Chains A and B, each alone.
Chain A
Amino acid sequence: MSDIKRGVSLYSLQDSYYMGDLDLEGCLRVVSETGATGIELLAEEMVKQFPNPIYTEEFQNKWFGWMKKYNLTPTCYDAFLENRIFDNRTLSLGEQVEMMQRDLKCASLLGFKCIRTLVSTPIDVIEQSLEYAEQVGVIIGLEVHAPFSLNSTWAQGYLDRLAKPGSKYKYFAFIPDLGIFSKRIPDVLADRCRRHGAKEECIKVVDDAYAERVEKGFTKIEYSLDLGAANRAYRNANGEEKLHKVLESMGAGPGDYEYLGSSYTYSWSNPQDLIDNIDHICHTHAKFYNMHEDYTETAVAIDEVVAAYTKAGYTGYLNSEYEGGEHLRDVMLVPDQKQLAMHQECLRRAIGR
């Protein structure tokens, strides 16, 4: 029996919200109906005139009323450090710390235990926000999202600076996104590329190359403040250019190149990485792309992840984060509520509760 808990990121219900089928309270009700007990909020997604309402007692009372009514616990608040909010400069370090503190404050007002900050967050901004994080009791969780990974120079760069003695350093941690444990490329992506003309033989070449990278191990991304350059170097180190030439020789079209390019947004890490880093993990995004009728997921090795987390004694949340909609919404209304309910059932079976 595992002590892992189940939650939902409201990123998962973006299509129902976009269509006006669910408002924020409606989303919370739907989450509660899946049996999940943790909630993850993207304030900029569902709180209008962000961040103003969060500072009001009226909104706070409403929020905590909903938590009680739907038996939900605030787990993680997803922050977006908009450090290029103006097109002619990047915000100064001081301005970025101020913005991080705003999000830490908002998170604490709504009862969240951690915030998710994005891979683009400079280390200095995190380090200089830690004292405030400790004051308000909210951990700054750096998302580890494909193509990034744990046990890499990128992750080590953060640990070297932020995993130190001193109470404030306990307020830095990682938030793995389970997209880094993708054993396969999601089927919904292949289907989208087929609609764009991708040929079966080209899809097979890309799939086989992915399987080979899973087998032999991905070359990990290097730490860099220039994410674009780091990303290009990562792709080349994992054979994109070579595969591009192979596809070219096969007379590939736009759909084939789309499949190749998109395949590099998924990655496979050994779940042992979770065990190695367990002391530095505060929360988890249980990313998923497509649930099948038999409650299996198309890409993510959920059972292996849960086994690793159980072995490591993880007692935090796995929050469903549905990202398959982007491959569907140009041709259909995304069945996000159904997909979410199925993923929660899949997690329930894996965790055993």
Chain B
Amino acid sequence: MAGRPVYDADSFKNVVEQGEVTGFQFAFKLQYYRGITLSIIRDIAVTIDGEQIPREDICLTVNGETFTLEECRTVISPLYRWEFGEYALVTVKKQGGLAAGKHHISTLQFIAPSYMPFPLKNTVDTDFEI
């Protein structure tokens, strides 16, 4: 049986800037039941084919605006909530991007809703092809 999808299977691709592959992107949904201000995101930790990506190399895009994880700490505008049921786009800096072929990604969604005695950590895995 297959569980509820988290990643947008069609979203995985390399990022090309001025003719150079500078990283890769994917979109996924928050594993929670309401939209959140980006300020309560404690971490989005990406591991690709066993390689842990440094925190400073990860950006999040919602509603057309892109924030580093450090910047997310102060984003509380209603315009840039990570809405429930909507994809956020994650951009990962990685020189040369990903090689053509199969990959495995494991991403931690770490958020801290104020009312919870313990923060919420969800690790979501998938295989994809680029």
- Does A37 belong to the interface (CB within 8 Å)? no
A274 → chain B closest CB, angstroms = 24
Quick check: B3 and A82 within 8 Å, CB to CB?
Answer: no
State in angstroms the CA–CA spacing of A51 and B76 once bound together: 12
Knowing A18-B85, A84-B112, A120-B115 are in contact, say whether A42-B3 is a contact too (CB < 8 A).
no
B100 within 8 Å of A (CB atoms): no
Whether B3 pairs with A52 at a CB distance below 8 angstroms is: no
- Contact (Cβ within 8 A) A87 B73: yes
Q: Cβ of B102 < 8 Å from any Cβ of A? A: no
Interface size class of B (residues with CB under 8 A): 20 to 34
A49 contacts B by Cβ under 8 Å: yes
B residues 39-97 with Cβ under 8 Å of A? Answer: 39-40, 42, 73-74, 76, 78-79, 81, 83-86
Closest-by-CB residue of B relative to A46 is B84
Which B residues touch A44, using CB under 8 A? 34-36, 84
- Is B39 a contact partner of A17 (Cβ separation < 8 A)? no
Interface residues of B in 103-130 (CB under 8 A from A): 112-115, 117-118
The residue on B at minimum CB distance from A330 is B3
Interface majority SS (helix, strand, loop, mixed), chain B: loop
Instruction: Return A86 CB to nearest CB of chain B, in Å.
Output: 6
A59 at the interface (CB under 8 A from B): no
Contact A80 B3 (CB under 8 A): no
Give a binary string over A311-335; 1 marks a CB under 8 Å from any B CB, 0 the rest: 0000000000000000001111110
The residues of A that contact B115 with a CB separation of less than 8 Å are 80-81, 118-120
A-chain residues with CB within 8 Å of residue B1 when the two chains form the complex? 331-332
Q: Counting CB contacts under 8 A, is A45 at the interface?
A: yes
Tell me the bound Cα distance from A331 to B5 in angstroms.
10
Q: B residues within 8 A CB of A119?
A: 115
List which A12-29 residues lie within 8 A (CB) of chain B: 14-15, 17-20
A227 at the interface (CB under 8 A from B): yes
11 cross-chain CB contacts under 8 A: A49-B83, A80-B113, A82-B40, A82-B114, A83-B114, A84-B114, A87-B112, A228-B117, A228-B118, A330-B4, A332-B3
Query: Which residues in B have their C-beta under 8 angstroms from that of A62?
Result: none
Please give me the residue from chain B that is nearest to A18 by CB atom: B85
In the complex, which of the residues A87, A120, A330 contacts B42, with contact meaning CB atoms closer than 8 Å? Answer: A87
Of the residues B3, B39, B78, B84, contact of A51 by C-beta under 8 Å: B78
Contact A50/B33 with A18-B84, A82-B114, A332-B1 known, Cβ cut-off 8 Å: no
Nearest Cβ in chain B — how far from A92, in angstroms? 14
With A49-B81, A85-B76 given, is the CB distance from A329 to B35 under 8 Å? no
Residues of B within 8 A of A216 (CB): none
Residue B13 at the chain A interface, CB threshold 8 Å: no
Q: Is the CB of B39 within 8 A of A86?
A: yes
Interface pair B29/A18, CB less than 8 Å apart: yes
Cβ-closest chain B residue relative to A230 = B117
**Further contacts, 17 of them, CB under 8 A, given A18-B85, A333-B3:** A11-B33, A15-B4, A17-B84, A19-B85, A46-B84, A48-B86, A50-B78, A82-B113, A85-B37, A86-B73, A86-B76, A87-B73, A119-B115, A231-B117, A331-B1, A331-B2, A333-B4
Within 8-34 of B, Cβ neighbours of A (below 8 Å) are at 29, 33-34
How would residues 145 to 169 of chain A score, 1 for a CB under 8 Å from any chain B CB and 0 otherwise? Answer: 0000000000000000000000000
Closest Cβ neighbor of B33 among chain A residues: A14
The docked-state distance in angstroms from the alpha carbon of A20 to that of B87 is 11
> Across the interface, do B76 and A332 meet the contact criterion of CB distance under 8 Å?
no
Chain A, residue nearest B63 (CB): A49
Bound complex: CA of A11 vs CA of B34, how far in Å?
A: 9
Instruction: For the complex, give the distance between the alpha carbons of A332 and B106 in Å.
Output: 20
Find chain B residues with CB under 8 A from A18 CB. Answer: 4, 29, 84-85
